[in-house]
A and B are shown apart, each in its own frame.
Chain A
């Protein structure tokens, strides 16, 4: 049979986001695949050089749409390292709260998005409605559902609103009652097992070769390689949590790890609310003067956080002026989304291509930037 060229994306229901994979298939088997990024390329790294240090706050969340907070966090961490700022204690805890809520939201969503490639839309419908309740929390906290622009260099933008802790705990309790249902519907489903078990493998060698991080790395190597543990930021060294790991990385294992991480995040959220100082400032200015003239001392620094997909980093260069000199973004899904697709998508069936994209955690906006 002849080799046929197929486009998986950019407009294909199996593709999350605006991304494209060109596949050469023989029958149902993919012989060769080429990632084609750039559909979401906006030239962020250039635009950031043209905005004020504070003005970039509006830009950065848009680099990773499903989980914007990590951008804010990593940018803030970088700027703080350059400027030598000590963030107020309370801000650290609020940041952790935001990051963990975001992690819950994005894991819940990715749990539901398994419904896309496998066709179990009920799971998608449930999960996204569930995630929406967390977006309500974000709206209460920061004034926006998706782009919170809440974590700023120097701290967080505003203090928690009244009664917020109570609302968070309520939603967490509700989520905990609903999660087992997701487990029943998705993780125990025989057809999901048929699709995901022993499929879409990620061996440990490939992890090291590509530089895959996050759930992918932990599911394959059995190492608790989580930046929150290995190189703690904020106050992650003061909360107790486990990093779920596995040594056999198929799609189902990765799904299970995400599911267990949700529980860990819920536990972190509870600890954060318990241990957070009641009072105190929530931010300090980056430098004297108003935000139009904030400057950051010259220097180069790389800051990284653990996103839901792995190590997410910014390399920030300042020349001491009111705008960054250069910012380079390391998208967490860069290794698997480009080289991974080129090298390791082949051999799978067309049916698995979108499942591959989904469970490997490929997020197109952060690759394209």
Chain B
């Protein structure tokens, strides 16, 4: 680890921010098309973020402020560890568990900060967000554990690399189709896309955790959201859709996967939080368990694959 790693890390952050924010902008246009309209400019998301950064903001005590910094720090750290098409700023640290742990730090910071605002809607939102996390994490983790078990590796980069070379057939989503479906559903949950966005539902709880954020705080939250989106999509992309052999392939696949979640959520209403939990514990969990049993006991999809 040397200074260059930190430079790379910084560059990764910048690149990720630009890429993901652009993609978010484009996806806003995609949603708009679905809604029979043109939608915002593709760079609107940048404007929104910079506008928010420019505004004054209201603090609700040090927990509120510190939580934001903590979340952003945690998430930015996580981004650096995400392998992108074989490139890693800090090689060897792309363990699934490291990433999950760092992600949790970010989430915790957010929860702390939101709860620190003292707004009851925010508290309800945080409670819902954590419930939601619990809901999608269990099926997803079962699938990921299955994968780690089957491939004997917890390194995201390695798991991605192992799927390459066979085209589509090498993807874990194809090898473990039920697991792939679980992963995509869980991705919707992770990204907070409909139908699993009840923790930020504007019509129910006035956008939940975000309710007290404004100005610079909100700007940080937006940046954080972009990074988090990158982590979550990348994780699923690397683990289930084979990452990318080149940076271009990676970006293309990433864009397709992300856009896919967008168009799904575009035609979905949201579940109530209890329904979301019930849903995750019924359909994806069952699929995940079945997938796990199939892989562990039959080896179908991993050991037995062509």
A and B directly contacting (CB within 8 A): yes
Interfacial chain B residues near A119, Cβ < 8 Å: 194-195, 197, 201, 203, 268-270
Q: Cβ of B35 and Cβ of A120 under 8 Å apart?
A: no
Give Cα A119–Cα B196 distance, bound, in whole angstroms.
10
Q: Cβ of B36 and Cβ of A129 under 8 Å apart?
A: yes
Give Cα A117–Cα B273 distance, bound, in whole angstroms.
14
For the complex of A and B, the 8 pairs showing the least CB-CB separation, nearest first, are: A14-B203, A118-B269, A120-B269, A119-B270, A125-B35, A13-B202, A351-B272, A117-B203
Interface residues of A in 60-119 (CB under 8 A from B): 115-119
Give Cα A4–Cα B119 distance, bound, in whole angstroms.
11
Q: Cβ of A28 and Cβ of B274 under 8 Å apart?
A: yes
Give Cα A12–Cα B273 distance, bound, in whole angstroms.
19
Give Cα A123–Cα B269 distance, bound, in whole angstroms.
9
B7 within 8 A of A: no
Q: Cβ of B270 and Cβ of A354 under 8 Å apart?
A: no
Interfacial chain B residues near A352, Cβ < 8 Å: 272
Chain A residue total in the interface (Cβ 8 A): 31
- Which of A123, A126, A191 has its CB near the most chain B CB atoms (within 10 A)? A191
**8 extra interface residue pairs, beta carbon distance < 8 Å, beyond A195-B272, A354-B203:** A13-B206, A118-B269, A119-B201, A119-B270, A125-B35, A129-B37, A350-B124, A351-B272
Q: Cβ of B36 and Cβ of A126 under 8 Å apart?
A: yes
Distance of A118 from chain B, by nearest CB (Å): 4
Distance of A17 from chain B, by nearest CB (Å): 14
Q: Cβ of B271 and Cβ of A191 under 8 Å apart?
A: yes
Give Cα A87–Cα B108 distance, bound, in whole angstroms.
70
Distance of B111 from chain A, by nearest CB (Å): 18
Give Cα A121–Cα B201 distance, bound, in whole angstroms.
12
Q: In the complex, what residue of chain B is closest to A185 when comparing beta carbons?
A: B267
Q: Cβ of B121 and Cβ of A6 under 8 Å apart?
A: yes
A191-B270, A195-B272 are known contacts. Are A122 and B203 too (CB-CB below 8 A)? no
Q: Cβ of A120 and Cβ of B204 under 8 Å apart?
A: no
Interface residues of A in 343-363 (CB under 8 A from B): 349-354
Give Cα A4–Cα B121 distance, bound, in whole angstroms.
10
A192 within 8 A of B: yes
B13 within 8 A of A: no
Distance of B5 from chain A, by nearest CB (Å): 42
A14-B203, A116-B203 are known contacts. Are A125 and B36 too (CB-CB below 8 A)? yes
Q: In the complex, what residue of chain A is closest to B121 when comparing beta carbons?
A: A6
Interfacial chain A residues near B195, Cβ < 8 Å: 119, 191
When the two chains form the complex, which single residue of B35, B269, B270 contacts A126, counting CB atoms closer than 8 Å? B35
Interfacial chain A residues near B274, Cβ < 8 Å: 28, 349
- Chain A, residues 232-254, CB within 8 Å of chain B (1/0): the string is 00000000000000000000000
Distance of B96 from chain A, by nearest CB (Å): 31
A145 within 8 A of B: no
A118-B270, A122-B266, A351-B273 are known contacts. Are A28 and B124 too (CB-CB below 8 A)? yes
- Chain A, residues 33-68, CB within 8 Å of chain B (1/0): the string is 000000000000000000000000000000000000
Distance of B210 from chain A, by nearest CB (Å): 12
